[in-house]
């Protein structure tokens, strides 16, 4: 999770929401990293999880990430939860819950939906306070008068 937090901090350089992710293979080696790049690259799919999954798939030379663990600082949204299920990631570890967009228990529970053909193990709340602090600080700096959060 500390590597994912470092990626999240690096997202700040592109004025992106500080979310970071890493993919570990069966031996625990890092095979993909990612951070939010939506602002920096103008890409709506530039979520840390998607960036890390793409990097891991490129490292492996295939889209199936069986045996891998995705570690991310914030609970994945529906897009990212769907992507990790489709990539056949075996384990998801995340930091802070996302009460507004979370799809791993907060609003939805995509990864544990029995109708899907793959359901990863989930470990939640790892270094959650560190992730939450990064996010709270970011949004406190980006709030405009009369608005609840930056878009």
Dihedral of alpha carbons 143, 145, 146, 151, sign: negative
Is 118 labelled a binding residue?
no
Q: Using CB atoms within 10 A of its CB, is residue 76 exposed (0-12), middle (13-18) or buried (19+)?
A: buried
- The pair of structure tokens assigned to 111 is 């990864």
- Other C-beta atoms within 10 Å of 133: how many? 14
7: Cβ contacts below 8 Å, ≥ 6 apart? 20, 21, 22, 33, 34, 35, 48, 73
Is 142 labelled a binding residue?
no
Coil, strand or helix: which one is 105?
Answer: coil
Catalytic (active site) residue 121: no
Residue 138 CA to residue 84 CA, distance in Å, equals 26
Identify the active-site residue in 7, 39, 41, 49.
49
Annotated binding site: which residue ranges? 47, 77, 80
Annotated binding site for Zn(2+): which residue ranges? 47, 77, 80
Residues classed as catalytic: 49
């Amino acid at each position: 999770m500390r590597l994912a937090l470092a990626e999240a901090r690096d997202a700040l350089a592109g004025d992106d929401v500080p979310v970071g992710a890493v993919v570990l293979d069966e031996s625990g080696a890092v095979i993909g990293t990612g951070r939010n790049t939506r602002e920096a690259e103008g890409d709506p799919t530039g979520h840390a999880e998607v960036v890390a999954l793409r990097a891991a798939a490129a490292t492996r030379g295939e889209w199936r990430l069986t045996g891998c663990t995705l570690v991310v600082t914030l609970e994945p949204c529906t897009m990212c939860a769907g992507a990790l299920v489709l990539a056949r990631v075996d384990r998801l570890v995340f930091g802070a819950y996302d009460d507004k967009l979370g799809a791993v228990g907060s609003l939805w529970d995509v990864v544990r939906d029995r109708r899907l053909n793959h359901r990863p193990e989930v470990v939640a709340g790892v270094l959650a306070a560190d992730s939450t602090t990064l996010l709270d600080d970011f949004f406190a700096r980006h709030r405009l008068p009369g608005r609840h959060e930056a878009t």
